[in-house]
Amino acid sequence: MTENTLVKERLPITLAIAIFMQMLDSTILNTALPAIARDLNQSAINMHYAIVAYVLTLALLMPVSGFLADKFGTQRVFIMALLIFSIGSLFCALSKNLTHLIIARIIQGAGGSLMTPVGKLAIIKTFDTKEIVKAMNFAIVPALIGPVMGPLVGGYMSVYLSWHWIFLINIPIGVVGIILARSYMPNYRSDAPKFDLRGFVYFSLASLLLSLSIELLGDVQNLTLVLTIFIIGILSLIVYFIYARKSQNAIFPTNLFMVRTFRVGILGNFATRLGISSVPLLLPLMIQTVFGQSAIVSGWMIAPMALMAIFAKSRVITILQKFGYRNTLVVNTMIIGLLIASLAIPGIHTSIYWFVPIIVTIGFFNSIQFTSMNTIAIADLRKYHTSSGNSLLAVNQQLAIGFGISSGLLILKYFEANKAMLDNSTHTAFRYTFMVIGLISILSSFVFRRLHASDGSNLQ
């Protein structure tokens, strides 16, 4: 077996370790939030700041990933990212209050902001265009074990051990990832231009302010402040695009958006994830707070979603070859929206196990959605755009997740506060929230109608 063949076999596994650690961490936290909230004397809803702090840090720092990888090499940056993430996990376990936990999650986010985009960049540079889908698919399949184990491990640990162990488990996984990266990840470097600090400040400021405005939107007493922050965020984004059009060294060149498949992929990614990102957080929260079930039960309820996602991964390529990217994404997005809305159907006296078929089916179609969106976005990028395009795609995904989580909880808070509509029922607030989120997902399907029937054929 040649060295190149060995690298092609082991590199997707190395990336899978990083994604597995991140997905395990995030899904463990979803089911353990009520237990952590009790220990830190916080409400379960307030604990979402620990999730958003992590996601927002990812979005803010991911723009640097392409530059650092080009300058110092993919292997070195990837190993450094794993190390920072593991240290952040240790600090999370040592947290004594919500503030400490948020700071530790920011450190985790600093590591996570580099891990996945740099790992994906190494795969893009190692594999031919027609091999990328298969390689990415292989990398994600082992990583999907994280979402399967996460809810279960989080539930059992929070009940039988303590929530601190949900972070400590990342440390041995990180060590394995570092060992594999040292052996099998190529240290690709490029002639990195001077870092676009000015563009980075404009873009990051826009991301931060827009995210902050969503977070503060629930406080109607400060509506003027929220609108001011939102407007400044929009202006910062406009200033960035004006600057980037004139700059020869923009961190995200505007000519990326000249590529139609990338433009549709980016917008579709954001719109779709905006609708569905809050579901993995809202479901365990509803199962525990409304139906009075334990973290273990909610973990077993959510795990089938990830199991079905693993099964779907083996069918994605066949589905895309038969129906094409356009038809697959348009129809698949609408199905996901309808499934999310159907989570509102079971009543308070209905057995919670009626949710299981819906959850399982969502997992199947989510898997198809994410693989299709991610690959079509990079389908027509030129080699000199892969670093910046890959980084922007990753940033876009994290911003959408952060916006989606905040928006979902904001909608829930709105319905909870509207007693005239809900007859004082928290469960009714959850039901209305799922219907609104489902509608948002259905509407996002129209973005993918801008794809052509032949788009993505070079990936098949």
Instruction: Please say which residue of 231, 250, 269 terminates a domain.
Output: 250
Summarised one tens digit per residue, pLDDT across range 116-134 is 778 877 877 777 666 666 6
Summarised one tens digit per residue, pLDDT across range 193-213 is 677 788 888 888 888 888 777
Summarised one tens digit per residue, pLDDT across range 417-449 is 776 665 657 788 888 889 999 998 899 888 888
Backbone angles phi, psi at 250, to 5 degrees: -65, 140
What token pair was written down for 202? 């404009």
Per-residue CA distances from 189 to 13, 16, 64, 95, 183 (Å): 21, 22, 14, 37, 17
**Angle in degrees, 0-180, between the axes of helices 197-216 and 386-417, rounded to the nearest 10:** 20
Average pLDDT, the chain: 79
- pLDDT(192) > 70: no
CATH of residue 407's domain is 1.20.1250.20
Sign of CA dihedral 292, 297, 299, 300: negative
In a shared domain, residues 88 and 27:
yes
In a shared domain, residues 213 and 315:
no
In a shared domain, residues 226 and 328:
no
Collapsing DSSP states into helix, strand and coil, what is residue 453? coil
Provide the number of structural domains found in the chain: 2
Region 242-258 average pLDDT? 81
How many CB atoms lie under 10 A from the CB of residue 153?
A: 22
More confidently predicted of 140 and 269: 269
In a shared domain, residues 224 and 286:
no
pLDDT the model gives residue 141 = 62
More confidently predicted of 142 and 261: 261
What token pair was written down for 77? 């940056």
- pLDDT(221) > 70: no
Among 10, 71, 50, 64, residue whose Cα is nearest residue 394? 64
In a shared domain, residues 359 and 260:
yes
Instruction: Please say which residue of 230, 250, 270 terminates a domain.
Output: 250
What token pair was written down for 293? 């079930």
In a shared domain, residues 205 and 307:
no
Among 303, 364, 294, residue whose Cα is nearest residue 328? 364
Instruction: Please say which residue of 218, 250, 282 terminates a domain.
Output: 250
- pLDDT(97) > 80: yes
In a shared domain, residues 71 and 205:
no
Instruction: Note down the domain range covering 140.
Output: 3-195+251-459
Among 77, 149, 98, 136, residue whose Cα is nearest residue 377? 136
* Separation between Cα atoms, residue 459 and residue 378, nearest integer Å: 10
In a shared domain, residues 239 and 165:
no
In a shared domain, residues 232 and 330:
no
User: Sorting pLDDT into bands at 50, 70 and 90, what band is 85?
Assistant: very high
Summarised one tens digit per residue, pLDDT across range 12-67 is 777 777 777 777 776 677 677 777 888 888 776 667 678 778 877 877 887 787 77
Q: Is pTM, for the whole model, over 0.75?
A: no
In a shared domain, residues 204 and 100:
no
Which residue's entry shows tokens 């060294």? 249
In a shared domain, residues 204 and 181:
no
In a shared domain, residues 190 and 202:
no
- pLDDT(103) > 50: yes
Summarised one tens digit per residue, pLDDT across range 340-392 is 998 888 877 777 778 888 888 888 888 888 888 878 877 767 766 666 777 78
The region, left, alpha or beta by phi > 0 then psi within -120 to 50, assigned to residue 195 is: beta
